[in-house]
Amino acid sequence: MVTSTELASNKIFEITFFKIDVPTHSSDTSQTYSPFTIEGWYDGLQVAETLSPGSVDLGKAPESLYIKNIDFYPQNEGEYATYTFDVEFRVDVAKNSNTKLMFVFPDEYGSELVPVTKRLICTSSPRTATDCYVSEPREVHFDVFIESVTPQQVVPITIFGISNPTAGFPSTLYTYLINTDSKEVLAYLESNRWEI
């Protein structure tokens, strides 16, 4: 990583790396991988190195979620629409009592997925979602009654009042099933695209 400006000495900086390929394993328990070091270089010379190399504990790769159908109405650009996702849970969710289902809408939906003047309303059948809310732009979170969902069960989840983007084919919708205690991603899906 090369910085675009000089960094002041004796300061703490937080650096986040995204989309790093990590090893996979098939075990149901986490695996600890070899220590790693972080080095600092300036003008071709190493000027710093982590004193205590860190190791990484990785859980097993997430299972797959499956969205059997995506439907929304009206389908006009700029309209407030009702979206229904038929989600099939392919993971043994009963083992994970504290879970959250999260939809990350495509970038085209903009930062006001649900305008501040409107209240986010969500339903599911059977009633698996106890609460839903927007946390970050384009992210809709559901707290889930996981005991009522069985593997391979299809659960229709409906979100009312989403603001449609401009006409075209939005990019990918991401769906995650997350354990809220461990922050582990239990299941994951990059879904199909649809047309506005």
Question: What pLDDT, on a 0 to 100 scale, did the predictor assign at position 57?
Answer: 59
Question: What pLDDT, on a 0 to 100 scale, did the predictor assign at position 90?
Answer: 73
**Reported pTM:** 0.66
**Burial of 119 per CB tally in 10 Å (0-12, 13-18, 19+):** exposed
| CB of 142 closer than 8 Å to CB of 112 | no
| DSSP conformation class of 6 | P
Pairing, β 154-163 against β 139-144: unpaired
Q: Residue 86: which residues within 8 A CB-CB, separation 6 or more?
A: 67, 68, 69, 70, 154, 155, 156, 157
Domains along the chain with CATH numbers: 63-190 (2.60.40)
Per-residue pLDDT of the chain (196 residues; tens, 9 = 90+): 667 777 777 777 777 766 666 666 555 555 565 666 777 777 777 777 766 556 665 556 667 778 888 899 999 888 889 999 998 877 666 566 677 888 888 888 877 787 777 777 888 876 655 578 887 778 888 876 555 677 788 888 888 888 888 877 777 888 888 877 777 787 778 776 677 7
Q: What would the DSSP string read from start to end of 66-86?
A: EEEEEEEE--STT-EEEEEEE
Instruction: Report the alpha-carbon distance of residue 1 to residue 151 in Å, rounded.
Output: 43
**Burial of 49 per CB tally in 10 Å (0-12, 13-18, 19+):** exposed
